[in-house]
Structure 1
């Protein structure tokens, strides 16, 4: 390419985002030392998001609104649509974006520099969560990766993910091949990280925050902070959702790369779930989460029929 700056395709999934999307896109368009093109897919909204995005695309040559294809019913399916339908061939890197955050000016440059420097295929980072009342908190996801963490958690917020073109293309092939089955995956970032690690790609979790991560009542996931958030997450673990997602993601990514299926933990059956509790240090990155994971597995195993 004549332009020597790295070319980055930014995939942005939107839904009823009028309160925040203008600030989000402005922070992407002002990224330093990279060239960006934003691809927006809007889940049918009732607050004018589609019309605003269409006007934004008319005003900016490097913003494109994809044709309507929803409803998706959640961010994951919207992102899968973006991954399938956007042509990455003219780019060096692919990044994911939410509709309501604020990227720091060097977010993509720092990611690209990391990917170039260490033969890394996938990048994510810590973030600073912020609330309407002015509270701010570091969300630390940069603990050392462990043997099986990718089967049980993402590599941090998906809005920090940046992939090399090679990995993005392989992930797209995977998404297309398993299109029907991945529709049952609720968290696209978890699946992306599981695919990367299962297929032998290398991943770096940067301890330096790259963005302000907005917290509000419409967050699909959000930060695990406070009593209500903890209760919500415990409920997901105990109502079968979490274990169902673990099994689906494990089945989808089994046998990728040079990894043997026998090298992966079993996630079905009382004995297998109890064994996971014993091996919790290989299943979650953070010490606190390892303890919670072990307790959950022991309780879940006792409750299984």
Structure 2
């Protein structure tokens, strides 16, 4: 089994050596380390070359010809990896020494496994631990449940899978079904969802890496508020914008699932939940899109008319039960 680690870098000189060293010192050293640098202006690339030479890592290091941005860079880097199992990692994290060994074990034990994700410590800039981990900071995500998580229901509710890309390892089958990362979609949400589409998902309850937060992640992650001394600027986004973003994710997933079905790409090994996820994605895109249209109306009366029209024609299909539909409709009309 060939193991690839995919790392996207940008001005990461402060923490990169520590992360790369933790990868090089794994009990199961990866067979390939793909690094795509998004035109750093510091010594990031030099550090990457130095660590790969020092530890004799099979490093594939490339500097982008033009700046791609986070999501496009991850998509590009993923396409260059040649492993049977791919790991994503962030430039500022640190891996526990047996992270790779423990995360590839489910793939070796069960050929149906397509995605594995682990817990991780949420730490400060100097790796000072908190009482929080990725799994316990938000119990409502039910990250411990792995394959039994109601991923379709989450999508219909407008929620992403909630699995960090830096916590996951996935088989090449996931990459094949996920296809190129579409515009406007976070790579971790996209790949996590298609992990469930492709096969079995396993959650490893151990903290296998340190998910480091520091001043340069300030304002970009809700986990910053868990670290003493770090500023957290709450993301201010209108309800319309939030619903539009959620609609894009659901719609892109639905389009890709239809493409998989129409082309026969799924083959005979598709999980039994494929049809249900296809329907969930269609329902989610329809309901979230309708709700966004209601929020776009300028007055309560206009929103009420639009809302009643959407309710009557069945656009609230993703919400189960008439009373829950009315509660969401009321929220959409009053925008609170």
Interval of TM-score (by shorter of Structure 1 and Structure 2) = 0.7 to 0.9
Residues 163/120 of structure 1: CA separation in 2 closer, same or farther (3 Å cut): same
Q: Provide the secondary structure at the position in 2 that maps to 1:32.
A: coil
Give the C-alpha shift of residue 111 in structure 1. 0.7
Q: Is 2:43 the partner of 1:48?
A: yes
Between the aligned partners of 1:20 and 1:273, the Cα distance in structure 2 is: 48
Which residue of 2 is the match for residue 120 of structure 1?
113
Which residue of 2 is the match for residue 110 of structure 1?
102
Alignment of 1:36-185 (within 5 A): 36-59=31-54, 60-74=56-70, 76-86=71-81, 88=82, 91-118=83-110, 119-132=112-125, 134-136=128-130, 137-140=132-135, 142-144=143-145, 145-148=149-152, 151=155, 152-168=159-175, 170-171=176-177, 174-175=179-180, 182-185=181-184
Which residue of 1 is the match for residue 22 of structure 2?
27
Which residue of 1 is the match for residue 246 of structure 2?
243
> Conserved in 2, the CA contact under 8 Å of 1:150 and 1:197?
no
Which residue of 1 is the match for residue 191 of structure 2?
192
Moved over 4 A (4+): 227-230, 271-279, 296-300
Which residue of 1 is the match for residue 279 of structure 2?
262
> Conserved in 2, the CA contact under 8 Å of 1:194 and 1:249?
no
Give the C-alpha shift of residue 218 in structure 1. 2.5
Q: Deviations over 1:70-109 (max 9, x none)?
A: 31122x21110012233x1xx3321111101010011111
> Conserved in 2, the CA contact under 8 Å of 1:107 and 1:211?
yes
> Conserved in 2, the CA contact under 8 Å of 1:274 and 1:301?
no
Q: Output the aligned Cα RMSD.
A: 3.4
* Higher mean C-alpha deviation, range 141-150 or range 153-162: 141-150
From 209, 234, 238, give the equivalent of 2:207: 209
TM-score by length of 2: 0.69
Which residue of 1 is the match for residue 300 of structure 2?
none
> Conserved in 1, the CA contact under 8 Å of 2:23 and 2:29?
no
TM-score by length of 1: 0.75
Question: How many residues in Structure 1 have an aligned counterpart in Structure 2?
Answer: 272
Which residue of 1 is the match for residue 332 of structure 2?
301
Q: Provide the secondary structure at the position in 2 that maps to 1:209.
A: strand
5+ residue gaps, structure 1:
1-5, 176-181, 280-293
Q: Which has the larger radius of gyration?
A: 2
Q: Provide the secondary structure at the position in 1 that maps to 2:150.
A: coil
5+ residue gaps, structure 2:
136-140, 261-265, 292-309
Query: As a proportion of its length, which structure holds more helix?
Result: 2
> Conserved in 2, the CA contact under 8 Å of 1:273 and 1:300?
no
Residues 45/124 of structure 1: CA separation in 2 closer, same or farther (3 Å cut): same
Residues 35/61 of structure 1: CA separation in 2 closer, same or farther (3 Å cut): closer
